[in-house]
Amino acid sequence: MKVQVITIGDEILIGQIVDTNSAWMGAQLNDAGFDIENITTVGDEEQAIKEALDRAFSQSDIVLMTGGLGPTKDDITKKTLADYFGVGMVFSESTFNRIQRMFEKWGRSTTEAHRIQCYMPANATLLFNQMGTAPGMWFEHNGKVAVSMPGVPYEMKYLMTEEVIPKLATQFTPRPVIHRTIQTIGEGETRIATRIESVTDNLPDSIKVAFLPGLGKVRVRLTTTGDNQKELQQLLDEKVKEIAALIPEFVFGYGDDKLEEVVGKLLMEKGKFLTIAESCTGGYVSHRITAVPGSSAYFTGSIVPYSNAIKVNQLKVKPDTLKEYGAVSEATVVEMVKGLLDLMQSDIAIAISGIAGPGGGSEEKPVGTIWLAIGDKDRVITRKLNLGKKRLQNIEYTGNQALNMVRQFLLEG
């Protein structure tokens, strides 16, 4: 079953917000056996919305729309939809009552704007939105379905999960699509492709391969479709094994595995506690680690020793080391690891110090020079990165490498 997605909002076209909704919808629909065929983004313009609807209905039976349902005056989606379907607007008493109750609970009163928000196209079946004031709207039109949802991500997600996908699954027959993804870190797209081509060159035509590069990471995805689900899943699982066996040192996970989750699981398995001293990454690695629920079971905490005073006072880096080698040096990160193990009473410590940029470089240590060290009471391993000049890219790349060093340290230990 093919789905057309229309996202509405001037703010997307001028780049004031990134459309993360359609990616999330794509993943969820795919899991449920629906394929997005096309995503079209148009502005808050009546004509553009109607043209997008015409085109979408001409290609598919299912059209999902997000955006343009808020209470403020720039949102014209509802009126445009009523006009498109040739119906009037009616006041939804139940929606208004709900909004009033929500506001009472917060100890506040509703405004005239909230009342205006409750006028809906007469042919819409309203979908209950627990996360906000605007309900979703389900339209049936010449045997086809259109759904309009708010653009606020958590409201759209609630509606998709609780209402839209279940209703679609009863009304249409999802086509089985199967994906398998191998997650790698440490090598580039072309090299990975070359290393595994003995398998990928000999795949049946029904299996598609895609390479999805990230910062220091590459995902390899196999896709197939067909009715004999079980056989196909087995076939893909076999091929995934064959591919992974060709690049074992780079594979850190499968599917949607996140590097920080993989590292967390390894720490749990080994019963080890991790701590971090991150200077140039400034809290980014800690944030990645603690974004995983339950991370307090293997993460004691971290320190961001941005000033040299903290490196000396808290992490016991010797002032002579800083003087002789500088804060961005192998000697300094090694001393940081040792100080950190004591300070945070942890089993494994990782230390990062570098010049994230765009300023602050020298001829000897240009922007993008980054030192990492990982260690426990018995051994310390260091690594130097020579990156580019882009601050956020350097921080993210270094974060990936730091997490991978923890992974490798645990696997070797």
> Which of the residues 1 through 60 are near a second copy (CB under 8 A)?
10-20, 22-30, 35-44, 48, 52, 55
Stretch touching a second copy by CB under 8 A, among 86-94, 135-143, 211-219, 238-246: 211-219
**Which residues within the stretch 353-372 sit at the binding site for a second copy (CB under 8 A)?**
357-359
Nearer to a second copy, 87 or 169 (CB): 169
**Which residues within the stretch 287-316 sit at the binding site for a second copy (CB under 8 A)?**
287, 289-291, 293-296, 299-307, 309-310, 313-314
Strands 35-42 and 2-8: parallel
- Residue 216 is given by DSSP the state S
Nearer to a second copy, 194 or 411 (CB): 194
CA–CA dist 102, 236 (Å, integer): 48
Nearer to a second copy, 58 or 173 (CB): 58
For 293, counting Cβ atoms within 10 Å of its Cβ (0-12 exposed, 13-18 middle, 19+ buried), the class is: exposed
- # residues near a second copy by CB under 8 A: 100
Out of 193, 312, 322, 381, the only residue in the binding site for a second copy (CB under 8 A) is 193
- Least Cβ distance, residue 388 to a second copy (angstroms): 8
Long-range contacts of 134-143 (CB under 8 A, 24+ apart): 134/69, 134/70, 134/71, 135/92, 135/95, 136/163, 136/164, 137/78, 137/81, 138/163, 138/164, 138/167, 139/81, 139/85, 141/57, 141/85, 142/57, 143/61
Cis peptide before 319 (omega within 30 of 0): no
Note whether 225 binds a second copy by CB under 8 A.
Answer: no
Residue from 194, 181, 180, 185 nearest 252 by CA: 185
Strands 136-141 and 125-127: antiparallel
Out of 79, 114, 258, 272, the only residue in the binding site for a second copy (CB under 8 A) is 114
- Least Cβ distance, residue 412 to a second copy (angstroms): 25
- Least Cβ distance, residue 291 to a second copy (angstroms): 6
Binding mask 72-91 for a second copy (x = CB under 8 A): xxx-----------------
**Which residues within the stretch 245-284 sit at the binding site for a second copy (CB under 8 A)?**
278, 281-284
- Least Cβ distance, residue 323 to a second copy (angstroms): 18
CA–CA dist 280, 278 (Å, integer): 6
